[in-house]
Every structure is written in structure tokens, then in C-alpha cells.
Amino acid sequence: MKVGIIGAGSIGLLYAAYISKIYDVIIYTKTSKQAAEINETGILLLKGTEKRTSFVKALPITEWKGVEDLTIVAVKQYQLPLIIEKINRLSAIPNLLFLQNGMGHLKLLKEIKRTNVYVGSIEHGALKENSFTVSHNGEGVTNVAVFSGDELFLRQFATKISNEFPIVVQRDYYGMLVNKLMVNAVINPLTAILQVKNGDLIENTSYFHVVKQIFTEISYILNLDQPEEKIQVVVDICKKTANNRSSMLKDIEANRKTEVDAILGFLLDEAILQGKKAPQIENLYYMVKGKEIAGEEFQ
């Protein structure tokens, strides 16, 4: 089986390194320079004290034709429109798996025709060290589900790869993504604004007060059952990833655009649809957007 991976950030590199042990992988990069470096050195995977090099073929994204049996799209949500536009210009793409934070991309996926479309929720921690090196900082699983189409291929793919890289097929894509969103919507923007590690959100009592207030509003918008149990999930993840710096915090520090629209923007859209007020989420959203604007001034 041939697997294409669009995006060579931390997630793209991590998945290419593991999946290439089972399948024939081609990774598609933003630049020709990165593709050349990966072709020369391979992908270096760091995990604890272990180092492992995986040799995969790399090409710039402009050369992607959608001919692989499965294409995994591992780019930021705001990079999807151009990719989906290209997908709809191609004649036939067998299977697509989208790995994005938040849920803002779901409306974009409705535009895709003529193929099986899957979505995923990632529990791994990964850090891109350079153009060909990724550090696997936290082990987890990849939850996947059918967005549209048939699940047979997805189950076959997951079964074969799971001993090397656990993939769990879920039946309800919406519930699966909500469970990840409620965590991301708390941890990512708050750590980005406060500029702290994940664990600080619960270790600092004042920060934890804000966590609880934000989660109450998230629960209200998402109509969560048993919110007192769901917030414990957030607490447990903060403990498990206490020393991690969230992806949104790293984006802000690097003066990059964040995925706040896919995360908090989605929640604000949901609030409007339901006629609900979300003042704390709205304030948090605009604080992150403000950080983005401030970062642009230094570029």
C-alpha cells in the first residue's frame, strides 16, 4: 500500500517515520529544500534516548497527484482551502484522512466529492526539531472515524499499522472531535496568552480558576453531559503533559499564525447558531488574534 502524507511539520514527520515501517510512504513538503534534505538524510525520530532514521521519498506539495491508496493531510486548518481546491480538481483520490486541531475544518470537508473522507484526533506529543528531525515527546493513540464514505478501508489500514503505531477506529466522528476540542479550547489559548506550560494551568490556583470558568462556557456551548467529569479529563491531560508547551504557544512564540479560528472560532460560531452568549471565549479569541497581529509586526 502507498501512503501519501501532505505536510512535513511535527505531525507529518512523526506519522511518516512510523507508518513507513509498514507502508510505502511519500511525504509532501512545503518547499523543495525540505524535500531535498529529507531525501538526503531520511527522517530522524527521537524518542527518549532512542534515535531512529526512516528513509522515505519526499516531494514538494506541487507534485502531489493523489495517486496513493491513502493520503494523510497533516497541515494547519487554515492551509486546507487550497489543498481541498486541488483535491476537487483531481480525477480520483481513493481515501483521505485529515488530522487537524479543532473542528472549524468540518465545513471545508463537505466540499470534497468522490472519495472516502476520514478525520482523526491525535493524542501524541511531537516537536519538530529541524526540517527532518521530530521528537516523540508523548505517546498516545490516533482516533479516527468516517466523515463521509465507507469505513472498510480505514479499518484495514488501522489493523495493519496498530501494533507499530496505535490507531483506533471510532464510530462517531463528531463526538470524537468534541472530546479533543474541549481540551484544546482550554489548554491551547490559555497557555498561549499566559505563556506557560500545560501543567501551570492547574498548579497555579488563579490560572485554574480561569480554566474552570472557560470550561463552563465551553460545556454550555457544546451541550456536554456530566461536565464535572469532562473537566477532569482536561485536568488529567494537563498533569500528563505538564512539561509540554502547547502548539498554539509555540506558534505565538515563533510569530506564526495559530489555529484559534479552528478551535475557539468554531465555538463562537456554534454559540451564534444556538443563540448563546460566550463572552469569555470571545475575549480569549481576540487576545490570541491580538498576539498574532503583534507577531506579524516583527516579521
The reply to whether 296 falls in a domain is no
The reply to whether 114 falls in a domain is yes
pLDDT of residue 60: 97
pLDDT of residue 114: 75
Burial class (CB in 10 A: 0-12, 13-18, 19+), 294: exposed
Based on the fold, state whether residues 61 and 165 are members of the same structural domain.
yes
Based on the fold, state whether residues 165 and 194 are members of the same structural domain.
no
The pLDDT of residue 257 is above 60: yes
Show which of 128, 149, 171 is a domain's final residue. Answer: 171
In CATH, what number is assigned to the domain containing residue 220? 1.10.1040.10
Show which of 156, 171, 186 is a domain's final residue. Answer: 171
**Range 100-120 average pLDDT:** 92
Based on the fold, state whether residues 157 and 201 are members of the same structural domain.
no
Based on the fold, state whether residues 95 and 194 are members of the same structural domain.
no
The pLDDT of residue 274 is above 70: yes
The reply to whether 297 falls in a domain is no
Using the 8-state DSSP alphabet, how is residue 61 labeled?
G
Q: How many domains does the chain have?
A: 2
Taking the mean position of all CA atoms in its chain, how far away is CA 58?
Answer: 21
The pLDDT of residue 298 is above 70: no
The pLDDT of residue 5 is above 70: yes
Q: Mutual orientation of helices 266-274 and 173-194 as an angle, nearest 10°?
A: 120
pLDDT tens digits, 117-155:
999 999 888 989 999 999 998 888 999 999 999 999 999
Q: In sequence order, what DSSP letters do the residues of 70-109 get, joined into one string?
A: EEEE-S-GGGHHHHHHHHHHSS---EEEE--SSSTTHHHH
Based on the fold, state whether residues 121 and 225 are members of the same structural domain.
no
Burial class (CB in 10 A: 0-12, 13-18, 19+), 194: middle
pLDDT tens digits, 190-243:
999 999 999 999 999 999 999 999 999 999 999 999 999 999 999 999 998 898
Based on the fold, state whether residues 241 and 157 are members of the same structural domain.
no
Of residues 151 and 93, more confidence is placed in 151
Tell me the C-alpha distance between 39 and 222, whole Å: 44
pLDDT of residue 295: 77
The reply to whether 146 falls in a domain is yes
The pLDDT of residue 299 is above 60: no
Based on the fold, state whether residues 13 and 138 are members of the same structural domain.
yes
All cell numbers assigned to 273: 447558531
Count the Cβ atoms, other than its own, within 10 Å of residue 239: 12
Categorize the per-residue pLDDT at 255 as very low, low, confident or very high, splitting at 50, 70 and 90: very high
Of residues 137 and 5, more confidence is placed in 5
The pLDDT of residue 290 is above 70: yes
pLDDT of residue 297: 63
What is the reported pTM?
A: 0.92
Helix or strand or coil: residue 129? strand
**Range 97-113 average pLDDT:** 93
Percent of the chain at pLDDT exceeding 90:
88
Give residue 265's domain range. Answer: 175-291
The reply to whether 78 falls in a domain is yes
The pLDDT of residue 252 is above 80: yes
Show which of 155, 171, 187 is a domain's final residue. Answer: 171
The pLDDT of residue 115 is above 90: no
The pLDDT of residue 177 is above 60: yes
Based on the fold, state whether residues 90 and 237 are members of the same structural domain.
no
Which residues are the active-site residues? Answer: 180
